[in-house]
Amino acid sequence: MSQLSRMDRRKRCGSACPTKKELGMTQKEKAVRFQELHEGAGTFVIPNPWDVGSARMLAGMGFVALATSSAASACAMGKRDGELTRDEALAHARSIVEATDLPVSADLENGFGEAPEAVAETVWQAATVGLVGCTIEDAGGGALYDFELAVERIRAGVEAARALPFPFLLTARAHNLLFAGGSLDEAVRRLRAYEEVGAPVLFAPGLADLAAVRTVCAAVSRPVNFMAGMAGKSFPVAELAAAGVKRISLATSLYRAAMTGFVKAVREVRETGTFGFVEECASTGELIALMKSHDING
């Protein structure tokens, strides 16, 4: 795929492409902060809120960056993962961006299209809603993309990101381990190829154990994201850090934890007519205090 001129990129995503003036300093400062988190020492957790309230509470509890989850976002809107349109996903992402002053990356699935051009356009549109990063999967429609197409898609996304006037961090996701017969060798092959075309962050969901995590981290030189939230495959922060992981995301696990409490409480009311769950609940005031402790409006 030949390199695209800035004008070609701007035509690809239409008049909505952001200019340096339109983006302003706030988004640039978030982008620089996000980049520094990936370049500095240590490992950080990037939790996944599903609405404005959860985003503000996570910020109030001291997290340094946030990420959307495609599945949690869809569920919060009464839909299944993969059912949101690009416009819906980006509108939801904007609400998370505007909830706090933290850097926000978005789970943008396969870029909402198979063609490399679709990935590039999605990256540009992600920038218009205030995001400073996104993840792009190498699968769509229930199947893994062929190797060559998968690489070209990431290349197109990287080119679009590099044309922005701030460091937009595209995370390339190798999804073969989520498919039957997926091998660690193939995951490493794909991640190395994505690194070669410039992906700033790499990610292979579904790593089976810490040995696999160490293998991936040793095989590439870019920061690696690990996804906690899978039963039996979620390891302590200290052990992931020792294995070489830079960033830990939580996928839908926080949303599922919240909804587990909700379902448990509702079942108690429906099945026993009691309200014991109330004794374990945080007060409304405590929740509001968490949200207000990181109030971007002062």
What is the mean pLDDT of each successive set of 10 residues along the chain, which is 298 residues long? Answer: 39 43 68 97 97 96 97 96 97 97 97 98 98 98 97 98 97 97 97 98 97 98 97 96 98 97 98 97 92 67
Rounded to whole angstroms, the Cα distance separating 239 from 235 reads 7
Sign of the alpha-carbon dihedral angle for 13, 19, 23, 25: positive
Residue 224: count of CB within 10 angstroms of its CB: 26
Return the bridge partners of 107, or none. Answer: 135
pLDDT, tens digit, 9 for 90 and up, residues 239-290:
999 999 999 999 999 999 999 999 999 999 999 999 999 999 999 999 999 8
Rounded to whole angstroms, the Cα distance separating 75 from 98 reads 20
pLDDT, tens digit, 9 for 90 and up, residues 118-134:
999 999 999 999 999 99
The four Cα atoms 29, 35, 39, 44 give a dihedral, to 10 degrees, of 100
* H or E segment to which residue 232 belongs: none
Q: Taking Cα atoms as reference points, which of 74, 27, 73 lies closest to residue 52?
A: 73
| Domains contained in the chain, CATH given | 6-253 (3.20.20.60)
Determine the residue type at 109: E
Rounded to whole angstroms, the Cα distance separating 266 from 274 reads 10
